[in-house]
Amino acid sequence: MAQRKKQIGLAIVGCGVIGRMRGMIAKDYPGIGWIGLADMNEKVGNKLKADIGADYFTTDYRELINRPEVDALIVATSTWAHVEPTLLGCAKGIPMLIEKPLATDARQSFEVLEAIKKAGVDACVGYTQRFRRRFLVVKSRVDSGQIGNLTCLVTRAFMNRMAPLGEVRLTQDRRHLTPMVVSGTHSLDMCRWIMGPTINPVSIYARSQDKVMGQHGTKDATFGIFQLDNGAIWSMNICWALPKVWPGAVYGLEIGIVGDKGVIDIEDTHRDLVIASEQNQGPAYRPEGHTEDTVRQVEFLTSFPPGDVYDGELWGPLREETWNWYQRIYMGKKTPHATAQEAHDNLMLTMAMDLSAKRGKEVALPISPEELMAGLNE
Ligand SMILES: NC(=O)c1ccc[n+]([C@@H]2O[C@H](COP(=O)([O-])OP(=O)(O)OC[C@H]3O[C@@H](n4cnc5c(N)ncnc54)[C@H](O)[C@@H]3O)[C@@H](O)[C@H]2O)c1
């Protein structure tokens, strides 16, 4: 009789909105036999421990990662707090699923990437939208040459300002929590992934606007044009300052991909599923300790990128992404997760957009992490 495979001991650092979702799915995955949790917020961590029957909880992520039971790690801490737990995961030599971005400083992101390479660990980064049927079919059509060689791409991401207000609530250091670094990175990754690794940007020209979100320490919008090394042009745009009453509760996207033999036009604004109700729809993104009092009676449903909850369970892209990552680490399955290298490259491009907007000048690419940060911090 074949020997039974040893079940995985999973550590989840960060038990907020995303860590909770990944933990709920871990509870149901048959290849996971032990779950340990860490969060600096004891209430949030203990609640998740009780809800999924986790084996261990601590407020100190070091204690958790160093436990002998731990074979794999999810880093789901706040956007600016991924570096230390990830470096510890590298030292332990375990596979990781890290939320984007790797860091909010390009030099630290490079340091993390080097540590991952040196340790030879399998590190994936949470670009959840890759796990949607619509984007997988687009990628396969582009890869099989159905629209020929790419000539121009255009991306427009619109976000309700409720999302960034929830995002920045836990820190006052918001210098690098810009629309491109935090959220535009998802649609930027989508376009880069569809284009494939052989097409690379050689320059970026961008402009930003901060009329509404400037008072919260971030910006409203960044619009830019990348010149690509195959001669194509790519217009990448995000505004995350839409009014709270905008029916899209979180993310709405349009992408156009033009080739010399065809075109793919993606409408992903969620206007095809609308509710109008006498009851307030409230926010879709509800992190601990953040409330919204705006009344919203019309909503484009399914705009929250991770998915939606039915009967206590999450359905949608983050479920597919997380389950497939468990399959990857337990069964050795090949999956389309973003690599740490891709995540680092994405951060470099999003920050280069911010640098170009700051200088009001075109920035040549690639640029080193040192030059990028010197420019952004000057
Ligand atoms: N893939 C997606 O679609 C998606 C969607 C939203 C957010 N995210 C990403 O997921 C990550 C988490 O976001 P969230 O919405 O769950 O935020 P959240 O605020 O709900 O949760 C973050 C948790 O991390 C904890 N934390 C922060 N620093 C810590 C530390 N040093 N040690 C232990 N715990 C710490 C906080 O107490 C909090 O409970 C972020 O990186 C965010 O960018 C991804």
Q: What is the pLDDT of residue 85?
A: 98
pLDDT band at 132, cuts 50/70/90?
very high
Q: What is the pLDDT of residue 328?
A: 98
Ligand 1 center to 119 CA (angstroms): 25
Residue range 19-41: mean pLDDT, rounded: 98
Range of the domain at 60: 8-128+321-342
pLDDT band at 171, cuts 50/70/90?
confident
Q: What is the pLDDT of residue 266?
A: 98
Q: Which residue has the higher pLDDT, 61 or 2?
A: 61
Tell whether the model's pLDDT for residue 62 goes beyond 80. Answer: yes
Please give the backbone phi and psi of residue 56, each rounded to the nearest 5 degrees, phi first. Answer: -160, 145
Ligand 1 center to 22 CA (angstroms): 12
CATH number at residue 56: 3.40.50.720
The response to whether residue 321 sits with its C-beta less than 6 Å from ligand 1 reads no
Residue 263 and residue 328 share a domain: no
User: Quick check: helix, strand or coil at residue 123?
Assistant: strand
CATH number at residue 216: 3.30.360.10
Protein residue with least CA distance to atom 20, ligand 1: 16
Residue 274 and residue 165 share a domain: yes
pLDDT band at 4, cuts 50/70/90?
confident
Ligand 1 center to 14 CA (angstroms): 6
Atom of ligand 1 nearest to the CA of 20: 16
pLDDT band at 293, cuts 50/70/90?
confident
Residue range 146-169: mean pLDDT, rounded: 95
Residue 194 and residue 82 share a domain: no
Residue range 250-274: mean pLDDT, rounded: 97
Atom of ligand 1 nearest to the CA of 306: 3
Whole-angstrom CA distances from 375 to 79, 184, 220 are: 22, 20, 20
Q: What is the pLDDT of residue 2?
A: 61
What percent of the chain has pLDDT above 90?
A: 92
Evaluate whether residue 375 is within a structural domain.
Answer: no
Per DSSP, helices labelled H in the chain are 17-28, 42-52, 61-65, 83-92, 106-119, 133-143, 162-167, 179, 185-195, 317-331, 340-359, 369-377
pLDDT band at 1, cuts 50/70/90?
low
Evaluate whether residue 121 is within a structural domain.
Answer: yes
Residue 267 and residue 147 share a domain: yes
